[in-house]
Chain A
Amino acid sequence: MSSVADTAHAPEADRHHPDLVHHFESLPAQKEAATLGMWVFLVTEVMFFGGLFLAYTMYRNLYFHAFVQSSRHLNLTLGAVNTAVLICSSLTMAMGVHSSALGRRRATVAWLLLTVALGSVFLGIKAVEYKDKFDHHLVPGERFQAEELHLEGDEARQAQIFYALYFAMTGLHATHMVIGVPIILILAWMAHRGRFSPEYHTPVEMTGLYWHFVDIIWIFLFPLLYLIGRHH
């Protein structure tokens, strides 16, 4: 690992750019630091969600039948549609980053707004699903009823653990999207005002990394929560 990146030989303009902060030598150096920092943050997010994935793994192995029956009550169609929606939003986000790197102001704004729209669709569908669970008494707690899952006794109680994990994992995921959507809106506004350029569009790239990460979490949540016992 070299102590000084090739960024020391960045072109003159990058050494005196108005977006260059005082403690970095050049814009490329600043951007490399931002990229590394964002990735380190995403590693923390992996470990953060990881605790829930661990709990899920243990309990799925312990209480497989309860998990199968509980999973079947989730709406496979809505889950699959949501997966497709998020993948589309990743594409639009990537295109947004691409446009900002080429200095295309209007295209950047359009792609970012499209990403926001798709993210909002996801959250809307999620809200529909949550309401369905409330209506069917599948929210853990005193009002939980497992009849619809065709479970009784111990397995009926174990189903509460599945749904606790369902709400915790999708809820945490949705929280990350609720945080991401306004950030992308702000980016769209900044792009509209001409804030970004081929030399400086780091915030768009960093947000893109965050958004793709949130997509990856869902890529795992979908099969783990929705696709356990669909072949019985």
Chain B
Amino acid sequence: MTTQIGPGESGPPRPPVPPALTEPPPPRVNYLNVAYGVKSWLLTTDHKRIALLYLAGVTLMFFLGGSFAVLIRLELVTPAGDLVQSETYNKLFTMHGIIMVFFFLIPSIPAVLGNFLIPLMIGARDLAFPRLNLASWYIYMIGAAFTIYTLVSGGVDTGWTFYTPYSTTYSNTHVIAAGLGIFITGFSSILTGLNFIVTIHRMRAPGLTWFRLPLFVWAHYATSLIFVLGTPVIAITLLTVVLERALHLGIYDPRLGGDPVLFQHLFWFYSHPAVYIMILPAMGVISEVVACFSRKRIFGYEVVAMSSLAIAVIGFFVWGHHMFISGQSTYAGLVFSLLSFLVAIPSAIKVFNWTATLYKGSVSYDTPMLYAIGFVGLFTIGGLTGIFLAALGLDVHVTDTYFVVAHFHYIMVGGAIMGYLGGIHFWWPKITGRLYPEMWARVAAVIVFAGFNLTFFPQFILGYLGMPRRYHAYPEEFQVLNVMSSAGASILGLGYLLPMIYLLWSMRYGPRASANPWPAKGLEWQTASPPITENFERQPVVTEEAYAYASEEEARVVERG
């Protein structure tokens, strides 16, 4: 049984022929060319255009945050603090963290791919609240402007974690501007999450039951729960820091009896679930890519869907593992440690299930799949090292060292960013109507993988040997590993620049893509590339399960036989 659809794939399966040569050209009018001019972009309510507005914003912030990483790795080539002063170095890692966490990793997949794809994947014409969607982009950009203002007026040096009382009383840098920037951008996240929740509940196409949804949608639903329940807490926390600094409404000042650990509780109550905001959408991408390039339904679909929810929920109960040495009660530390072990289980289940999907699948190694396979390996390493850190006794030894830095970069860069790049490549033909050059894309993926490991694997060793994080000078015996790491960073940087170049090139010169070039299952592939503004010519009706790849295989076998 197939879906009834508009232009694009139809009829019985054909023998494989490059789709770009046989499909009719895309409809003359699509969401990209339906209107021209700055106003048509800045006042759009089309979720697909808003996704591209976000793409521009997060890409800009990514390279800004990345430039700080370059300076950090340059400083760390030599043991002495000789490139920048320690105060400046503090600002570098602070700005790197703030920009990468709040302005790239958190919005990237949801605001770009989620915004673009969720209405398409559920057969809707737009999100539930299109104007709110546009507002969320403006709020994001205003927050980014505050951050850039912070930057040009001298920066902030508290670390992205803003620990009190340094941030509230003793720092002489632009804490208020930085805090307000993040506070404002938080509302962008909240509105996005709100929009996704209502859309997924209320706008699914006829026949699209919850357990027929793509896992990408499940992942974004779980992420949206975190957006809605967690982000307001960081908002109020940063607001209290701003109020204390600006108006002396002091609740963290030890001189008054304030407790700095209270700040840490409030901060990490959001910031731990925030890391699941960063990884869940990437996991959603991986599910789509692995299914398509194994030509197989994801193994244990229902369990993977439930695991997304489990990660979101349990992820709210483990924040104390960032505070093991803060003076928090040891008993609470024990409980947080145990819960942190438990939260790894649903993630591990996903890794097992993706792997099981590959087994006896018809695997091909297009670029999205290269990123997906890289994700599975690197996320596993990052996740396992998270378990090391969750063990109280071991954490006392490696906390605040490069071990932690390596752990979270394995997850956020080796995991989330590779998921993001894999998703951008997978859906590029749908978004732009063009194919990117496959050879260059594969080369870039390999360069990213190699550069990433060279950058961050030595950091596990450095941390275990005792090199602390956030220091611009270090003992000489650590230099070799630091040089390796910095060398890796330059390779990684090249790996990120290549897609910028060839993806932009493909928008003008790339071959035109058909509706379904891979081909893949999912409603988004049943409409033109690029889609029309209304997404579908006729309302789709869903009659089959998600990832119904086997049925097409069986049909081919039957036809031949």
Chain A residues at the B interface, C-beta cutoff of 8 Å: 1, 3-5, 8, 21-24, 29, 32-33, 36-37, 40-41, 43-52, 54-55, 58-59, 62-63, 140-142, 154, 157-158, 160-161, 164-165, 167-168
* B residues near A4, Cβ cutoff 8 Å: 204, 206
Q: Does residue B257 face the partner (Cβ distance < 8 Å to A)?
A: yes
CB neighbors of A among B115-135 (8 A): 119, 124-130, 132
Q: Contact: B190 with A44, CB < 8 Å?
A: yes
By the criterion CB–CB under 8 Å, are B243 and A168 in contact? yes
Interface contact A168-B128, CB-CB below 8 Å: no
**A141-B245 Cα distance, complex, nearest whole Å:** 11
Known: A23-B125, A33-B128, A140-B248. A47 touches B256 (CB 8 A): no
**B495 interface residue (CB < 8 Å to A):** no
Measured between beta carbons, the chain B residues less than 8 angstroms from A62 are: 257, 259
Q: Is B262 within 8 A of A55, CB to CB?
A: yes
Please name all residues of chain A whose beta carbon is closer than 8 Å to the beta carbon of B244 when the two chains form the complex: 164
A-B contact pairs, 12 of them (CB 8 A): A3-B204, A23-B124, A23-B130, A37-B194, A47-B232, A49-B236, A51-B240, A55-B240, A140-B250, A158-B256, A164-B251, A168-B240
Take A51-B237, A51-B266 as given contacts and tell me if A3 and B207 are in contact as well, using a CB distance cutoff of 8 Å.
yes
Q: Which 6 A-B pairs have the closest CB atoms?
A: A51-B236, A141-B248, A48-B232, A47-B232, A164-B249, A23-B125
With both chains docked as a complex, state the minimum distance between the C-beta of A80 and any C-beta of chain B, in angstroms: 25
Q: How far is the CA of A24 from the CA of B198 in the complex (A)?
A: 12
Determine how close the nearest CB of chain B comes to the CB of A211; give it in whole angstroms: 19
A140 near B249 with CB under 8 A, answer yes
Task: Tally inter-chain residue pairs, CB-CB below 8 A.
Answer: 127
Q: Among A3, A22, A50, A58, which residue has its beta carbon within 8 angstroms of that of B233? A: A50
Contact B206 A47 (CB under 8 A): no
Find out whether the CB atom of A52 lies under 8 angstroms from the CB atom of B236: yes
Contacts of A8 in B (CB 8 A): 206
Contact residues of B: prevailing secondary structure: helix
Q: Which residues of A contact B266 (CB under 8 A)?
A: 51, 54-55
CA distance A220 to B257 in the complex (A): 25
Known: A3-B206, A51-B236, A51-B266. A44 touches B257 (CB 8 A): no
Extra pairs beyond A23-B203, A36-B201, A140-B248 (4, CB < 8 Å): A8-B206, A23-B128, A160-B256, A161-B257
CB-based contact A58/B249 at 8 Å: no
B232 touching A37, Cβ below 8 Å? no
Closest chain A CB from B252 CB (angstroms):
9
Residues of A within 8 A of B259 (CB): 58, 62
Q: Which residues of B contact A55 (CB under 8 A)?
A: 240, 251, 262, 266
List B contacts of A161 (CB < 8 A).
Answer: 250-251, 256-258
Residues of A within 8 A of B210 (CB): 1, 3
User: Across the interface, do B228 and A43 meet the contact criterion of CB distance under 8 Å?
Assistant: yes
For A43, what are the chain B residues with a Cβ–Cβ distance below 8 Å? 228-229
Q: Is B291 an interface residue (CB 8 A)?
A: no
In the bound complex, what is the Cα–Cα distance between A167 and B243 (angstroms)?
10
B360 within 8 A of A: no
Which residues of A sit under 8 angstroms from B290, Cβ to Cβ?
none
Main secondary structure of the interface of A (DSSP, over half): helix
Give chain A residues whose Cβ lies under 8 Å from the Cβ of B127: 23
B17 an interface residue at 8 Å Cβ cutoff?
Answer: no
A141 and B247 contact, CB distance less than 8 A: yes
Q: Is the CB of B125 within 8 A of A22?
A: yes
B280 / chain A contacts, CB cutoff of 8 Å: none
In the complex, B197 has a CB within 8 A of chain A? yes
- Asked if B376 is at the interface of the complex by the 8 Å CB criterion, the answer is no
- Contact pattern, B 198-231, Cβ under 8 Å of A = 1, otherwise 0: 1001111111111000000000000000001111
Smallest CB gap from A45: residue in B: B232
CB pair B257–A37 under 8 Å, yes or no, is no
Say if the beta carbon of B235 comes within 8 Å of chain A: yes
Contact between B229 and A47, CB atoms less than 8 A apart: yes
Is residue B255 within 8 Å, beta carbon to beta carbon, of the partner chain?
yes
- A41 and B119 CA atoms in complex are apart in Å by 21
- Inter-subunit contact B194/A44 (CB<8 Å): yes
Q: Which of A5, A44, A52, A164 contacts B250 (CB 8 A)?
A: A164
A3-B206, A45-B232, A141-B248 in contact; A40/B126 too (CB < 8 A)? Answer: no
Contacts of A165 in B (CB 8 A): 251
A142 touches B256 (CB 8 A): no
Tell me whether A40 and B194 are in contact in the complex, defined as CB-CB below 8 angstroms, given that A1-B210, A47-B232 are known contacts.
Answer: yes
CA distance A9 to B127 in the complex (A): 21
Minimum C-beta distance from A185 to chain B (A): 21
User: Which of A37, A50, A154 makes the CB contact (< 8 A) with B198?
Assistant: A37
Q: Which residues of A contact B262 (CB under 8 A)?
A: 55, 58
In the assembled complex, how far is the CB of residue B396 from the closest CB belonging to chain A, in whole angstroms? Answer: 25
Task: Provide the bound-state CA to CA distance between A176 and B428, in Å.
Answer: 42
Interface residues of B in 61-90 (CB under 8 A from A): none
Q: Min CB distance, A35 to chain B, in Å?
A: 9
A160 touches which one: B128, B195, B237, B250 (CB < 8 A)?
Answer: B250
Q: Say yes or no: A48-B235 contact (C-beta < 8 A), given A4-B206, A54-B266.
A: yes
Are B257 and A157 touching (Cβ within 8 A)? yes
Chain A residues near B231: list those with CB within 8 A.
Answer: 44
CB distance from A213 to the nearest CB of B (A): 13
Contacts of B125 in A (CB 8 A): 22-23
Give the distance to chain A from B482, nearest Cβ to Cβ, in Å.
Answer: 39
Residue of A nearest to B130 (CB): A23
In the complex, what residue of chain B is closest to A164 when comparing beta carbons? B249
Contact partner of A44 (CB less than 8 A), chosen from B201, B232, B249, is B232
Which of B124, B233, B256 is most buried by chain A, counting CB atoms within 10 A of its CB?
Answer: B256
Nearest Cβ distance between residue B288 and chain A, in whole angstroms?
20
Query: Smallest Cβ distance from A40 to chain B, in angstroms?
Result: 5
**Do A154 and B233 contact each other (CB < 8 Å), given the known contacts A44-B194, A51-B240, A161-B251?**
no
Inter-chain CA distance A154–B253, complex, in Å, is 13
B255 touching A157, Cβ below 8 Å: yes
Task: Judge whether B124 and A167 touch: CB under 8 Å.
Answer: no
Residues of A within 8 A of B233 (CB): 47-48, 50-51
Min CB distance, B90 to chain A, in Å? 27
Q: Given contacts A4-B206, A37-B129, A40-B194, are A168 and B249 in contact (CB under 8 A)?
A: yes
Measured CB to CB, the closest approach of chain A to B48, in angstroms, equals 13
**Residue in chain A with minimal CB distance to B209:** A3
A36 touches B202 (CB 8 A): yes
Q: Which residues on A sit within 8 Å (CB–CB) of B249?
A: 140, 164, 167-168
Is A63 a contact partner of B236 (Cβ separation < 8 A)?
no
Chain A residue at smallest Cβ distance from B204:
A3
A28 to chain B, nearest CB (A): 11
Write the chain A residue with the least CB distance to B249: A164
List chain B residues, Cβ under 8 A from A50: 232-233, 236
Bound-complex Cα distance A45 to B127 (A): 22
Given contacts A45-B232, A48-B232, A168-B240, contact A1 B201 (CB under 8 A): yes
